[in-house]
């Protein structure tokens, strides 16, 4: 998609975001294009996951009001919270925020958010459904001298920062499912994807990707194969802008502490929100299944599984954790 088309879509969204009806002719006049071209842009928005209705002699109306993330306000929020050296960019459309921060485009202390991802990913290569301007999708570039062996608990630390941010916005009761799921009463609110590159002995480039369901419609989420929910079901008045700004601040503080003291500094906090603790679970790893009861995590962030043969540590990687009856 061209940059010009990107700008036109953003302008169109800004005109429609109040949730009222807008005639095709009025929209065409605002963008200096034809009504037929407005129709094409609306089809593009629908393909990107934006839900609207079209009524003869009334025009187009979004099914629910929306807001676009404001890059300048996010940058101001970081500066006012002692983070003037952090950079923030917001894209309307991208393939994947994680991909956009990899390799030559990597930047330490950079936040990259997008309103839509065409190739968003979760752990183990799963697709991350990313409808336009409905949820939160962002990645953080973070360079560290910590050896890779000490980064096992990083996704847990990110999850704890998100829970602390949500708590600061009055959202309570959110839990974490090891190693990277954010959940509420058994339903998925979001997930975390950590990707590493660089020298395994130090100077690692870390890309931290986060997706949070905010106000996703059920139609675009039909491909999701597990129970999920939106954050706005818990806090209807909390905006995406508020959640992202608060989370960035909490994540910065958590990363500083993690680099200084490792995951051990977070172990007690994890136990308070550990959805797996005391639950019967199965660990699927390399075509093998290990059953046991969740017993918390150790000082490295490894899951502790109580089995008939004793306590077994499970390390994050190509593993899948499932609850069982």
In order along its 325 residues, the chain shows pLDDT tens digits of 567 878 899 899 889 988 899 999 999 999 999 999 999 999 988 888 788 899 998 999 988 777 889 999 999 999 999 999 999 999 988 989 999 999 889 999 999 999 988 877 655 556 666 778 789 999 999 999 998 889 999 999 999 999 999 999 999 999 999 999 999 999 999 999 999 988 766 689 999 999 999 988 766 556 666 789 999 999 999 999 999 999 999 999 999 999 999 999 999 999 999 999 999 999 998 888 999 999 999 999 999 999 999 999 999 877 889 999 8
Residues 40 and 147 grouped into a single domain: no
- Residues 323, 278: contact at Cβ < 8 Å? no
Q: Is the pTM of this model over 0.75?
A: yes
- The CATH number of whichever domain residue 315 belongs to comes to 2.30.30.100
Which of 110, 121, 188, 246 is flagged as catalytic?
Answer: 188
- The CATH number of whichever domain residue 156 belongs to comes to 3.30.930.10
User: In the annotation, is 124 catalytic?
Assistant: no
Residues 121 and 250 grouped into a single domain: yes
- Residues 74, 241: contact at Cβ < 8 Å? yes
How many CB atoms are located within 10 Å of the residue 151 CB?
22
Which of 123, 177, 183, 246 is flagged as catalytic?
Answer: 123
Residues 171 and 146 grouped into a single domain: yes
Residues 265 and 282 grouped into a single domain: no
- The CATH number of whichever domain residue 57 belongs to comes to 1.10.10.10
- Angle CA 94–95–100, to nearest 5: 80
Instruction: Give residue 49's pLDDT.
Output: 77
Residues 317 and 212 grouped into a single domain: no
Range of the domain at 211: 71-271
Q: Domain tally for the chain?
A: 3
User: In the annotation, is 123 catalytic?
Assistant: yes
Which of 261, 291, 322, 324 is flagged as catalytic?
Answer: 322
User: In the annotation, is 324 catalytic?
Assistant: no
- Residue 296: helix, strand or coil by DSSP? strand
Q: Using alpha carbons, select from 81, 196, 221 the residue that is nearest to residue 142.
A: 196
């Amino acid at each position: 998609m061209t940059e010009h088309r990107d700008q036109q879509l953003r302008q169109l969204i800004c005109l429609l975001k109040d949730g009222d009806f807008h005639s095709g002719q009025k929209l065409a006049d605002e963008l200096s294009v034809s009504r037929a071209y407005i129709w094409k842009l609306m089809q593009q928005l629908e393909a990107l996951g934006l839900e609207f209705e079209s009524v003869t002699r009334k025009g187009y109306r979004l099914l629910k009001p929306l807001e676009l993330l404001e890059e300048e306000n996010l940058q101001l929020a970081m500066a006012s919270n002692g983070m003037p050296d952090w950079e923030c960019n917001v894209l309307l459309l991208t393939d994947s925020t994680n991909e956009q921060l990899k390799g030559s485009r990597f930047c330490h202390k950079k936040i990259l958010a997008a309103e839509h991802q065409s190739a968003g990913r979760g752990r183990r290569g799963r697709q991350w459904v990313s409808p336009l301007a409905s949820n939160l999708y962002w990645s953080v570039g973070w360079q560290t001298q910590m050896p890779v062996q000490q980064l096992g608990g990083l996704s847990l630390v990110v999850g704890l920062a998100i829970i602390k941010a949500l708590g600061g916005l009055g959202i309570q009761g959110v839990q974490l499912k090891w190693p990277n799921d954010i959940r509420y009463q058994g339903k998925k609110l979001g997930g975390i994807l950590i990707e590493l590159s660089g020298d395994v002995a130090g100077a690692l480039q870390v890309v931290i990707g986060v997706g949070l369901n905010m106000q996703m419609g059920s139609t675009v989420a039909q491909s999701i194969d597990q129970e999920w929910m939106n954050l706005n079901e818990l806090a209807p008045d909390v905006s995406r802008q508020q959640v992202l700004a608060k989370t960035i601040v909490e994540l910065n503080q958590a990363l500083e502490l993690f680099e200084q003291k490792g995951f051990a500094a977070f172990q007690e906090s994890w136990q308070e929100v550990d959805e797996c603790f005391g639950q019967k679970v199965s660990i699927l790893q390399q075509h093998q299944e290990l059953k046991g009861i969740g017993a918390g995590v150790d000082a490295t962030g490894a899951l502790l599984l109580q089995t008939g043969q004793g306590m077994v540590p499970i390390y994050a990687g190509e593993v899948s954790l499932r609850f069982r009856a």
